[in-house]
Amino acid sequence: MEFKIDENLPVEVADLLRQVGYDAATVLEQHLEGWSDSDIASMCQEEGRVLITLDLDFADIRAYPPAQFPGLIVLRLHKQDKFYVLEAIERLIPLLSSEPLERLLWIVEEMRLRIRG
């Protein structure tokens, strides 16, 4: 599974995913910072990467139908500081191998995961 880490997340999210064997590229590494949401979404489609983001716009299934993407993960956290986000990703990693993600939207909250098709 391949991931794209949005610019609103710490680059260390990619490091955590790489440590457990996933391919992860950041928007910053690819010099895509400042690109529009729709351009980032298109790039994820072209590259076959699951987008991980804090941007709640990607949770709008009318604008970003999950069936058109390799997968979308939107973090909906009460706190968005680096430590808290990395902690949420650490909790999320085991689910990546046990729950379906392809063509789905995951909305990750502190105490639950919502999956939409």
Which amino acid, one-letter code, is at 108?
A: V
- Cβ burial of 12 (10 Å; 0-12, 13-18, 19+) is middle
Q: Please give the sequence-ordered ranges of beta strands (E in DSSP) within 1-117, or none if there are none.
A: 2-5, 23-26, 50-53, 72-75, 105-108, 113-116
Percent of the chain with pLDDT over 70: 100
pLDDT in tens, 28-70: 999 999 999 999 999 999 999 999 999 999 999 999 999 999 9
Residue whose token pair is 């191998």: 97
Buried-exposed string 73-100: b where 16+ CB fall within 10 A, e elsewhere = bbbeeeeeeeeebbebbeebeeebeeee
Whole-structure pTM value: 0.96
pLDDT of 4 above 90: yes
Amino acid (1-letter code) at residue 12: E
Res. 117: pLDDT tops 90: no
Which CA distances in Å does 108 have to 22, 35, 39, 43?
A: 19, 24, 23, 22
List domains and CATH numbers for the chain: 2-116 (3.40.50)
